[in-house]
Amino acid sequence: MLSLTEEQIAFIEKDIRVRGITSPDLSIDLLDHICCLIENELDEYRNFEIVYQQTLLLFGEKGLKEIQDETNRLLTFKHYYFMNSTMKISGYVSSMLILIGSFFKFQHWPGANVMIVVGVFFLATLFLPLLFILKFKSTEENNRSIVLSIIGFISSLLICVGILFRILHWPGARIMIIIGCVLLLLGYLPIYILSIYKNTTNKINATATIILIIAGVGLIVTESGTGLSKTTSDSFWRGVTESNDLLQYNKKVNHKTFELMLVKQTTDTAKVLQIKELQLATDSLLKYTTKMKAYLISITEEGMSAAQAEKINLDDLRNSGGGDQLTKRLLTVEYASFSCTAPKLKAKIEGYKQTLAKLSPGIDLTNLNTNQITVYGEQVSWEKSNFEKLPLPLVIFNITRIELAILAAETAAIQQLQ
């Protein structure tokens, strides 16, 4: 082992500064470390320049500059490693929750919405902000790269939060998703093409990134815009809300009529009993339909109780699905023991019709018909025509329509009893 000369040490010290080491303390430490490594390898048979170049290779592809960058990160960004670990963990957890939640939702298993909501929440509140901060702090970027990072962060955050709002049926979801996609497509993509695609030697990866961005935006916009047109949807929903308003109005009118009839018929005991029997039968059936609607909303809107479902604003159900899940709960033998099923509702309606026929013989009960109907030449049961493979808004609308028919029949019976 040979010792380095003063000239060789001075050469190493100067070369360290040339290679980007600006910190005096780091420069001294590296000089001492490199000198020790060289002296361990240097002998009369090996040239100083060759041993020095071999020693520099021990510091990796980026060489001494990477050590300087890492030192700067540790000095100016003390929580780098903790935040980096948190970002990775939150990214893995959120992606797995979204993936598993999507599979659960496809299979109509419980817990799907909770997993998706938690996954998107972690993605939007932990992973994306930490990714942006670490990227912004840990690299020396030009202005174009900084703008690219900012646009990418804002657009990704808007899309994630928009999807979260869409799942929770909160207002503003659609506009956030659209703005995020526009920023990604018209803001991020052009800058990416100018700053990355033109300068990179790996055109395949860059091209794949561009294609994935365009395809992803297309899928998000397509999913966001599926279903009826806004005009058609608004028209249908107006019918739903007006039917519900009419239902509440008819309930109040009939209730007031019962009160007036009971006052007039205080001396006719038989008539009073008939009035109370009619009122009790109607109230009992309407309580069942109200319970049924709350039950169906609670199983479709993950995490919502039946008590909360009774108070929900109908407009919040616009984008609800349900289809196969509601069909399974309402029509299959597997759930026949449940209190709220289509066959049980039909049985209660038939029982109510018998009560009306007894109290008001000859009353027209056409609107409460539960027989099979013919659709395109095929006989379809009452249960299937009202509940099979329909989304929650249509199921709620059909139950409301049945409730209006019940109140119409009650009104007709009231007129005969007066």
Task: With a cut of 60, say whether residue 74 has pLDDT above it.
Answer: no
Tens of pLDDT along 217-243? 766 665 555 444 566 667 777 777 888
pLDDT of 83 higher than 90: no
The residue with greater pLDDT, 135 or 85, is: 85
User: For 302-340, how does the pLDDT look when each residue is reduced to its tens digit (9 = 90+)?
Assistant: 667 777 777 777 767 766 666 677 888 888 877 777 778
Does the pLDDT at position 387 exceed 90? Answer: no
Q: What is the residue extent of each domain of the chain?
A: 6-73, 77-224, 230-417
* Nearest-5° Cα angle at 236, 227 to 294: 90
| Consecutive H or E run containing 373 | strand 373-375
pTM reported for the whole predicted model: 0.51
Indicate the helix (H) or strand (E) that contains 329: helix 323-331
Given a cut of 70, whether residue 179 has pLDDT beyond it is yes
- CA distances to 94, 98, 165, 210, 223 from 119, rounded to whole Å, are 4, 5, 13, 25, 19
- The answer to whether residue 245 scores a pLDDT higher than 70 is yes
So what's the pLDDT on residue 376?
65
- Give the residue among 351, 380, 379 at the shortest CA–CA distance from 365: 351
Please name the amino acid found at residue 57: L
Q: Which of 195, 273, 287, 260 is nearest to 187 (CA)?
A: 195
* Of 385, 388, 393, 358, the residue nearest 369 (C-alpha): 385
pLDDT score at 78:
57
DSSP string, 18-60: HTT---HHHHHHHHHHHHHHHHHH--TTS-HHHHHHHHHHTT-
The pLDDT of residue 58 is 67
The reported pLDDT for the residue numbered 202 is 56
Average pLDDT taken over every residue of the chain: 77
Is residue 130 within 8 A of residue 113, CB to CB? The reply is: no
Residue 347: per-residue pLDDT: 92
Percent of the chain's residues with pLDDT above 90: 6
